[in-house]
């Protein structure tokens, strides 16, 4: 009787340890970065980016940015949602939506059918064949050393990556906006988003 009880206790303990190790591995494989956003010297929102290693071959990224700003004539209540999935180092899915004052301004969905990429966005539908291996979402978690070209998910296009110095890169998109990413020891610390109405600063909070 004692041996049977001891065996059951040992079995329950093993299950507990396996479950704990599974949760620990999941927590270790997830990264989260938070940026405080400001414009005109006013803090107005946060941007949170996560990276989850789902298995040995797949990584899933999410970006959620929310903010409300009222300065002089300008009043904006904005939200951006972005999801990206990479498999074996290549982008296979992206969903992007930008909402301004309750109205969807831009949206882009990208999927792969096994042969090519399908784009359905506010700019229309199209296809392309080249598999993206480094995109805007990648910038939040790795410094783009020796990379000269990057995929911009929101506009579903490849753009040039300009290295202005050893720790700073700059990208300009077809819509006329410019973004500057500043790194320190391989870690992204600050971003400048130059848009039509203002310059938005995103500074790392963690």
What one-character-per-residue DSSP string does 98-161 give? Answer: EEETTEEEEEEEEEE-SSSEEEEETTEEEEE-PPPSSBGGGGGTS--TT--EEEETTTTEEEEE
Instruction: Flag whether 11 is in a domain.
Output: no
Contact 36, 203 (CB under 8 A): yes
Instruction: Flag whether 12 is in a domain.
Output: no
**Three-class secondary structure of residue 3 per DSSP:** helix
* C-alpha span between 68 and 192 (Å, rounded): 18
Cα 182–chain centre separation:
16
pLDDT confidence of residue 9: 46
* C-alpha span between 64 and 54 (Å, rounded): 19
Instruction: Flag whether 10 is in a domain.
Output: no
- Eight-state DSSP code of residue 125: E
Instruction: Flag whether 194 is in a domain.
Output: yes
Q: Assess whether pLDDT exceeds 80 at residue 3.
A: no
Q: What is the pLDDT of residues 52-108, one digit of tens each?
A: 999 989 999 999 999 999 887 778 899 999 999 999 999 999 999 999 999 999 999
Instruction: Flag whether 101 is in a domain.
Output: yes
Q: What is the pLDDT of residues 169-195, one digit of tens each?
A: 999 988 888 999 999 999 999 999 998
Instruction: Flag whether 115 is in a domain.
Output: yes
pLDDT confidence of residue 164: 92
Q: Assess whether pLDDT exceeds 80 at residue 205.
A: yes
Instruction: Flag whether 106 is in a domain.
Output: yes
Indicate the number of domains in the chain: 1
Of 14-28, 52-66, 93-107, 111-125, the range with the lowest mean pLDDT is 14-28
Instruction: Flag whether 145 is in a domain.
Output: yes
pLDDT confidence of residue 198: 85
Could you list the residue range(s) of the whole structural domain that residue 59 is in? 33-204
Surface-to-core class of residue 120, CB atoms within 10 Å of its CB (0-12 exposed, 13-18 middle, 19+ buried): middle
Q: What is the pLDDT of residues 128-174, one digit of tens each?
A: 999 999 999 999 999 999 899 999 999 999 999 999 988 999 999 88
Q: Assess whether pLDDT exceeds 80 at residue 8.
A: no
């Amino acid at each position: 009787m004692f041996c049977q009880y001891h065996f059951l206790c040992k079995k329950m303990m093993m299950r507990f340890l396996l479950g704990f190790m599974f949760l620990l591995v999941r927590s270790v494989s997830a990264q989260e970065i938070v940026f405080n956003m400001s414009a005109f010297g006013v803090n107005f929102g946060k941007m949170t980016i996560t990276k989850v290693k789902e298995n040995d071959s797949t990584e899933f990224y999410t970006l959620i940015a929310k903010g409300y700003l009222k300065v002089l004539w300008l009043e904006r209540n904005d939200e951006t949602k972005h999801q990206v999935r990479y498999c074996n180092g290549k982008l296979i899915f992206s969903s992007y939506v930008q909402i301004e004052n309750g109205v969807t301004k831009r949206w882009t969905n990208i999927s792969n059918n096994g042969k090519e990429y399908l784009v359905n966005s506010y700019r229309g539908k199209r296809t392309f064949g080249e598999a993206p291996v480094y995109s805007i979402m990648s910038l939040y978690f790795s410094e783009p050393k020796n990379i000269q070209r990057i995929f911009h998910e929101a506009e579903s296009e490849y753009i040039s990556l300009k290295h202005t110095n050893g720790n700073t890169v700059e990208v300009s998109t077809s819509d006329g906006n410019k973004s500057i990413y500043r790194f320190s020891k391989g870690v992204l610390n600050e971003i400048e988003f130059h848009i039509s109405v203002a310059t938005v600063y995103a500074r790392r909070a963690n």
